Chain A
Amino acid sequence: MRDTGNTPKIKDKQGNTWLYSDVVKEHFFNPKNLMPQGEEDKFEADGMGRVGSPACGDEMVIWIKIKQDKIIDCKWQTFGCGSAIASTSVLSEMVLENGGMKIEDALKITAKDIIDRLDGLPPNKIHCSVLGDQALEAAIEDWKNRFVVIPTEATRGSEVEESL
Chain B
Amino acid sequence: MFPPKPKNKKLVYLDHAATTYVDKQVKVAMDPYYTDKFANPSGIYNIGREVNGAINDARKKIAEILHALPDTIIFTGGGTESDNLAIFGTVYKHQEKGKHIISVKTEHHAVLHPLEKLKKQGFEITYLNVNKEGQIDLKELKNALRKDTILISIMYANNEIGTVHPIANIGREILKWRKENNTAYPYFHSDACQAAGVLKLDVEKLHVDLMTINGSKMYGPKGVGVLYKRRGLNIEPMIIGGRQEMNFRAGTENVPGIVGLAKALELTQENKEVENKRLIELRQYFWEELQKNIEKIKLNGSELGDESIRLPNNLNVTFLDIEGEAMLLYLDEYGIVTSTGSACTSGSLDASHVLTSCGLPYEYAHGSLRFTLGKCNTKEDIDYVIKYLPGIVEKLREISPVNLKVKK
In chain A, positions 1-35 with a C-beta closer than 8 Å to chain B are: 1-4, 6, 8, 10, 12-14, 20, 28-31, 34
Residues of B within 8 A of A54 (CB): 321, 362-363, 366-367, 402, 404
**B168 → A minimal CB distance (Å):** 32
**B5 → A minimal CB distance (Å):** 9
Residues of A within 8 A of B363 (CB): 53-55
Residues of A within 8 A of B402 (CB): 54, 59, 79
Q: 1/0 contact trace for B1-45 toward A, CB 8 Å? A: 110000001110100000000000000000000000000000000
B329 and A82: CB pair below 8 A? Answer: yes
A68 at the interface (CB under 8 A from B): no
Q: Which residue of A lies closest to B347 (CB)?
A: A13
Q: 1/0 contact trace for B321-348 toward A, CB 8 Å? A: 1111110011011010100001111111
Q: Which residue of B lies closest to A28 (CB)?
A: B329
B398 at the interface (CB under 8 A from A): yes
22 A-B residue pairings within 8 Å (CB atoms):
A1-B376, A3-B9, A3-B10, A3-B11, A10-B329, A34-B399, A50-B401, A53-B363, A54-B321, A54-B367, A55-B363, A56-B362, A59-B402, A77-B401, A78-B400, A79-B321, A79-B400, A79-B402, A82-B344, A84-B323, A84-B344, A85-B326
A60 at the interface (CB under 8 A from B): yes
A1 and B345: CB pair below 8 A? Answer: no
Q: Roughly how many angstroms separate A6 CA and B349 CA in the complex, as a whole number?
A: 26
- Contact check: which of A12, A20, A50, A81 meets B323 at CB < 8 Å? A81
In chain A, positions 127-154 with a C-beta closer than 8 Å to chain B are: 127
B53 at the interface (CB under 8 A from A): no
- Contact check: which of A28, A34, A60, A124 meets B349 at CB < 8 Å? A124
A61 at the interface (CB under 8 A from B): yes
B333 and A6: CB pair below 8 A? Answer: yes
**B350 → A minimal CB distance (Å):** 9
Residues of B within 8 A of A125 (CB): 344
Chain B facing A: main interface SS: loop
B11 and A4: CB pair below 8 A? Answer: yes
Q: Roughly how many angstroms separate A10 CA and B378 CA in the complex, as a whole number?
A: 26
Interface size classification for chain A: 35 or more
A78 and B401: CB pair below 8 A? Answer: yes
B11 and A1: CB pair below 8 A? Answer: yes
**B231 → A minimal CB distance (Å):** 36
A80 at the interface (CB under 8 A from B): yes
- Contact check: which of A3, A13, A56, A82 meets B325 at CB < 8 Å? A82
A36 at the interface (CB under 8 A from B): yes
Residues of A within 8 A of B329 (CB): 8, 10, 20, 28, 81-82
Q: Which residue of A lies closest to B340 (CB)?
A: A81
The 3 closest A-B pairs by CB, nearest first: A54-B363, A81-B325, A81-B344
Binding site for B on A (CB under 8 A): 1-4, 6, 8, 10, 12-14, 20, 28-31, 34, 36-37, 50, 53-61, 77-82, 84-85, 124-125, 127
Residues of A within 8 A of B337 (CB): 4
A12 and B376: CB pair below 8 A? Answer: no
Residues of B within 8 A of A14 (CB): 347
**A4 → B minimal CB distance (Å):** 5
- Contact check: which of B11, B13, B347, B398 meets A36 at CB < 8 Å? B398
Residue among B2, B346, B402 with most chain A CB within 10 A? B402
B333 and A81: CB pair below 8 A? Answer: no
- Contact check: which of A1, A13, A37, A53 meets B348 at CB < 8 Å? A13
Residues of B within 8 A of A84 (CB): 323, 326, 344
Residues of B within 8 A of A124 (CB): 347, 349
Q: 1/0 contact trace for B383-408 toward A, CB 8 Å? A: 00000000000000111111010000
Given contacts A77-B401, A81-B329, 16 further A-B contacts (CB under 8 A): A1-B11, A3-B9, A4-B9, A6-B333, A20-B329, A29-B2, A29-B330, A50-B401, A78-B400, A79-B322, A79-B323, A80-B323, A80-B326, A81-B323, A82-B326, A85-B399
**A84 → B minimal CB distance (Å):** 8
